[in-house]
Amino acid sequence: MKKYVLFFLISAGIVSCDVRRKDKVADGMASMAEMAAMDSTTVQIIDTAYNFGTATEGEKVSYNFRFKNSGDKPLIVTNAHASCGCTVPEKPEKPVMPGETSFIKVVFNSQGKVGHNEKTITVISNANPAFPPLILRGDITAKK
């Protein structure tokens, strides 16, 4: 019985100390970073901020933040999200080919947002350097 317990403990120790697995994980992460760098492109941001001025509470303000793929690979926007739920960005669904211009459409619902508002839109893509934060700002007046 003691031999079986000893055999089990030695086997468990050998299996749990598999150093090669850690090397493979590290190599996999390095190759993913290399692939991302190879597939990256550059982007020229045409609009980084928009001031919509003054709107009345309840109005929906929309704006298209324009950008151009200035690189030589397709630009893929994987995600766009805003700093609050009252602002909804819409990203391009298809890759933006080199030389093409596209936009991130943003709709801000001003209901319950009386006063000065500044919303930040974060865009995730394969652009290097990354998209800067996009800013939508303005003032909301109460309904009369």
For residue range 67-87, list pLDDT tens digits in order.
Answer: 999 999 999 999 999 999 999
Q: Is residue 5 part of a domain?
A: no
Q: Is residue 99 part of a domain?
A: yes
Instruction: Locate 111 and state its tokens.
Output: 């209901």
Residue 123, H or E segment: strand 115-125
Q: Is residue 20 part of a domain?
A: no
Domain that holds residue 122: 43-141
> 137 and 117 in contact (C-beta within 8 Å)?
yes
Whichever domain contains 51, its CATH number is: 2.60.40.10
Q: Is residue 21 part of a domain?
A: no
User: What digits encode the pLDDT tens for the residues 90-125?
Assistant: 999 999 999 999 999 999 999 999 999 999 999 999
Q: Is residue 37 part of a domain?
A: no
* Ramachandran angles phi, psi of 34, nearest 5°: -65, -40
Q: Is residue 4 part of a domain?
A: no
Residue 125: how many CB atoms within 10 A of its CB?
A: 22
pTM: 0.73
> 61 and 108 in contact (C-beta within 8 Å)?
yes
Q: Is residue 9 part of a domain?
A: no
Number of domains in the chain: 1
Q: Is residue 133 part of a domain?
A: yes
